[in-house]
Amino acid sequence: MARVVIALLVALLAAALHAPVSAQSTPCAPTAPDMLGPFYKPDAPERSVTGHGLVVRGTVRSAKGCTPLPGARLEWWSADTRGEYQDELRATQRTGTDGAFTYETVAPGRYPGRPPHVHVKISAPGHRTLVTQLYPRDGQRAIATDFVLLSE
Ligand code: FE
């Protein structure tokens, strides 16, 4: 019995030692850029909801110190469930004072040659503009992700 307890304690200690340290104490890895693609249009209407089926939540951060970026601008565009781009699925939004955002849209459909994806372009003063894409899995209804921008 004592051996079992000791083995359990050793396992717990090993788990604790390997637990990830908090995000604040590690540098934020910059988010990998991805293709802009041919369907971007500037000046999409300001809104945080363009449909239902997929919610993206997170915080825009600076790679420098991992600090949240209030007032960062996110521009979203994606295809409808049939894989066709629609102006109704374009949006511009800004992060709040805590750098957080929530965007809700339809689950993107597949179009020839590409897995389903959502495009986003993120800009913030003093930072390099980031263009990237998210790839929701089949049936995935929520994505939690931070976007980390390189400082200039
Ligand atoms: Fe696309």
Give the whole-angstrom CA distance, residue 1 versus residue 57: 47
Q: Is residue 2 part of a domain?
A: no
The total number of structural domains that make up the chain:
1
Q: Is residue 87 part of a domain?
A: yes
Q: Is residue 8 part of a domain?
A: no
Q: Is residue 54 part of a domain?
A: yes
Look at residue 3 in the predicted model and tell me its pLDDT: 55
Q: Is residue 127 part of a domain?
A: yes
Q: Are 115 and 107 in contact (CB under 8 A)?
A: no
Domain with residue 120: its CATH number is 2.60.130.10
Q: Is residue 98 part of a domain?
A: yes
Look at residue 16 in the predicted model and tell me its pLDDT: 45
* Long-range contact set of residues 93-96: C-beta below 8 Å, sequence gap at least 24: 93/46, 93/47, 93/48, 94/46, 95/59, 95/60, 95/68, 95/69, 95/70, 95/71, 96/70
Look at residue 61 in the predicted model and tell me its pLDDT: 98
Mean pLDDT by 10 residues, the chain (152 residues): 46 44 62 97 98 98 97 98 97 98 97 95 98 97 98 95
Task: Name the nearest CA neighbour of 102 among 134, 59, 72, 68.
Answer: 59
Q: Is residue 9 part of a domain?
A: no
- How close is the Cα of 35 to the center of ligand 1, in Å? 8
- How close is the Cα of 37 to the center of ligand 1, in Å? 6
- How close is the Cα of 59 to the center of ligand 1, in Å? 23
Cβ–Cβ contacts within 10 Å for residue 104, how many? 17
Amino acid at 132: T
Please give the residue range of the domain that contains residue 73.
26-149
Look at residue 96 in the predicted model and tell me its pLDDT: 96
Look at residue 26 in the predicted model and tell me its pLDDT: 54
Q: Is residue 34 part of a domain?
A: yes
